Amino acid sequence: MSAASVPLKGGGHGWQVILADLALILFLLTLSALPAAEAETGRKPTDRAARAEETRARTATAAIAAAQALYRPVTDGPTLAEWLAAQPHDPRATLTVFARYRPGGEAAAWDAARALAAGASGGAVPVRTIITAGAETDLYASLAYDEVPAAYAQ
């Protein structure tokens, strides 16, 4: 008689019971962590609005990469086109024009950002514009390895 045909004592299902016990323990540990997560954040983890807000925050943060070069328009300084021509050409780079405005200055910020972006005409790099409210008015351009989300690409 071979070892394969010898019946095991006790049914031979010990490993299945152990695996089921471990799965149950893992489930209970996960379930017990939910109230702690809710107490920490103040909202239910399954709340759709909370998940959508977290997704938007992560997406917006990930869309702007660290700059490889910054340009600020200054009197008697180079134009944006001259500055771009002096930068190393990389097809992965994107030029982002950032305009920050104080309350009531939306139209002026948009006009300044549009004029700066027009200075990058020539198509050497993709250009996008981000306009936000802030405590101070500011205008600059960032050359970085940003990926423009498909929803915003023209």
Over residues 126-130, mean pLDDT: 88
Query: Is the model more confident about 43 or about 109?
Result: 109
Whole-number Å distance between alpha carbons of 148 and 96: 10
Same domain membership, residue 70 and residue 54: no
| 3-state SS track over 33-88 | HHHHHHHHHCCCCCCHHHHHHHHHHHHHHHCCCCEEEEECCCCCCCCHHHHHHHCC
Can you tell me the mean pLDDT for 133-147? 88
**Average pLDDT of the residues of the chain:** 79
So what's the pLDDT on residue 146? Answer: 73
Is the separation of the CB atoms in 117 and 127 below 8 Å? yes
- Structural domain boundaries enclosing 54: 12-59
- Tell me: do 69 and 87 sit in the same domain: yes
Please state, for a pLDDT cut of 70, what percent of the chain lies above it.
71
Query: Is 90 in a helix, a strand, or coil?
Result: coil
Whole-angstrom Cα distance, residue 8 to residue 5? 9
Domain check: are 101 and 81 in the same one? yes
Shared domain check, 51 and 100: no
In a domain, 149, yes or no: no
- Provide the pLDDT for residue 32: 84
pLDDT surpassing 50 at residue 89: yes
> Is position 54 within any domain?
yes
Q: Is the pLDDT of residue 139 over 90?
A: yes
pLDDT in tens, 29-38: 888 887 777 7
Query: Quick one: pLDDT band at residue 152, thresholds 50, 70, 90?
Result: very low
Cβ–Cβ under 8 Å, residues 83 and 114 = no
Closest CA to 127 of 140, 118, 136: 118
pLDDT at 97: 92
Instruction: Tell me the torsion sign for CA atoms 59, 53, 136, 153.
Output: positive
